[in-house]
Amino acid sequence: MLLRPPLREISEDTLYEDDPEDGTLPDDPSYEYQSASEGEVLEYDSDASDSGRSTDEDNTPSEEDESETTEPDWIFKVSGPEEEIYDTEFVPLSTRLGQPLMIKRVKDDGSVVSTHNTAVYDLSQRYEHIAGPGCRKGDCYHPTNISPEEMRDAHTVQCIYPKGKTWQPRADDLDFERESRYHLTGLTTHMPSSGSLLEFAPPRFDVNIIGAECDFWSQMTKEELQEIGLPFHPACFELYIQASRRVLGIVDIDTLVHIRDKAAIAQEEFPIMYHNDVLAGRGQYWEHNPGDEYLVANPIFIPGFRDILESAISHDESFNIHNSPFKARPQKTLQSPSRDPFLRLPFEIMMDIAGYLGHADIANARLSSRAFDHIPISFWRRLVLEEMPWLYEAWSSDPSPYYWTTAVSRDLHEEEKAKKEFYEDLEIRREVIQTDMPEIYDEWVGNEPKWEWPEHPDRRVKLDMGPMKLPSDRTNWYKLYGDITKNRSQLKGLRNRERIWDSIMQIVDMVGAVREDISA
């Protein structure tokens, strides 16, 4: 723990503790003033002369000279340097700062009220926690367990918002936006717990600052809900797009908002079952439980995962997914079909049997029977599709993420601010030239500077590590399955994708059920 004491304002630094504030010393009774006598001849006095002094007198030191060469006693003392002063106070690691900022209290009538724990809040403002290797504090995730690159865009939020009366199609509209009663907003860099005053950039369709919420605790009307956006992480919405296209054939955001509004009017939470790790972290403030760091990992842009995908694609001309990934074992003795009943079965039935086995079971089956020696690479594609449906790179016709997933939120806000300043300055220049030099105004307008903004380097990084389509006939599915299985604990984003996919499929199923009810 480090203590950051309040800064005290000092008008003028003093050298020593006993220095007066105004810089003027009071009379010191112990101080004795000493000056040369009136008759003493000064060395550089204009009346001084060496003519009256003999050589002997110059060479023979007098008693007075001896007294002058003797070092005089100090008439005041100066203290040495003070002890080192730190700008922080070190306190034991046992200092308790983990108490909740909200205290629940049961009133006499049995109701429960929450009040702010002001003492803990004051401490939280004064102390800075520096995590050690064994830190288990729940206010944040330990940086040795998850990197900033893995948590990319964890605070980025986008919304679905109703179209205004003056809505007109834009070039950057997605296909489902054109047919919907809703549109997507720009991006914001933070989602406050209140869900209010979210500022988006760019302000698509003039939607700049709005409120957003999924779970409601007060009564809401349909009219009020029209002013409240439905918030989501762009990375999670990309999974919704992929799942919707696969299950429903379309991306339906109207029904998605309908489900949110229905729950809001009933004062209920968004109707999905959350993962146990999410439930363990939910509260007034998020509890960062050790071991659950994957919950904040980006499920689309996963460090190291693109390399696994690329390494699974074979460029060997002799590669064929109908071949076995295993080398042929030397056959020392012919095994009788009576001793190995699987050798009697047709290949198609063997593949059906293998379909009920997991990866480890297949390895054991190969040890017990040569009938499982020639399991083709294509068999592991079936395992990937069945056991890893969230790996949409294996089945999606277009796994490329939509634009807003690849955009850098903070860069969009900086661009919006710079663009505003650019055009304000340009307008001032136009007015000045039109007023003072009208004869060159038209020429200047024709050659005035154009707005430009370079692509942010982080966006290129995301594009380079994003999803890619796996060709079914050129992918070594056996290698891919094994690499993902072996590295699943390190691929936190992929683990989080699996968790999010379960929630997304619940939502897609609800959307499908509502659509069936409407069409019935």
Sign of torsion, CA 282 284 285 289? Answer: negative
Residue 220 lies inside a defined structural domain of this protein: yes
458 DSSP assignment: H
Q: What is the pLDDT of residue 74?
A: 56
Of 193, 159, 189, 191, give the one whose Cα is nearest residue 177.
159
What ranges in 252-304 are assigned the alpha helix state H?
A: 254-265, 276-281
Q: What's the pLDDT at 367? A: 79
Residue 284 within any structural domain of the chain: yes
Among residues 292, 312, 339, which one ends one of the domains? 292
Q: Would you say residue 140 lies in a domain? A: no
pLDDT for 124 equals 66
Query: For the chain, which ranges sit under pLDDT 50?
Result: 1-5, 7-17, 23, 37, 39, 41-46, 48-57, 67, 93-95
Domain termination residue (choose one: 292, 318, 346): 292
CB 234 within 8 A of CB 500: no
Count of CA atoms in the C-beta half-sphere (13 A) of 10: 8
For residue 78, is it within any domain? no
Q: Can you count the helices (H) and strands (E) in the chain?
A: 18, 10
Give the whole-angstrom CA distance, residue 292 versus residue 150: 13
pLDDT at res. 99:
65
- 103, 115 in Cβ contact below 8 A? yes
- Compute the distance between CA of residue 339 and CA of residue 88 in angstroms, rounded to an integer: 78
Give the DSSP H or E segment for 405: helix 403-406
Q: Which two tokens stand for residue 332?
A: 């020392």
Element (DSSP H or E) covering residue 222: helix 222-225
pLDDT score, position 128: 66
Residue 319 lies in a domain: no
Closest CA to 409 of 351, 338, 459, 361: 459
Provide the pLDDT for residue 137: 74
Asked if residue 176 is part of any domain, the answer here is: yes
Query: Do the Cβ atoms of 157 and 231 come closer than 8 Å?
Result: yes
Domain count across the chain: 2
Q: 399-404, long-range: CB within 8 Å, 24+ apart, which pairs?
A: 399/242, 399/467, 399/468, 399/469, 400/466, 400/467, 401/235, 401/238, 401/300, 401/466, 401/467, 402/174, 402/234, 402/237, 402/238, 402/241, 403/172, 404/158, 404/184, 404/186, 404/187, 404/234
Instruction: Give the count of beta carbons closer than 10 Å to the beta carbon of residue 120.
Output: 17
**Pairing mode, strands 198-199 and 228-232:** unpaired
Q: Decide which of 399, 422, 455 is a domain's last residue.
A: 455
Residue range(s) defining the domain that contains residue 171: 158-292
Q: Is residue 426 part of a domain?
A: yes
Is 489 within a domain? no
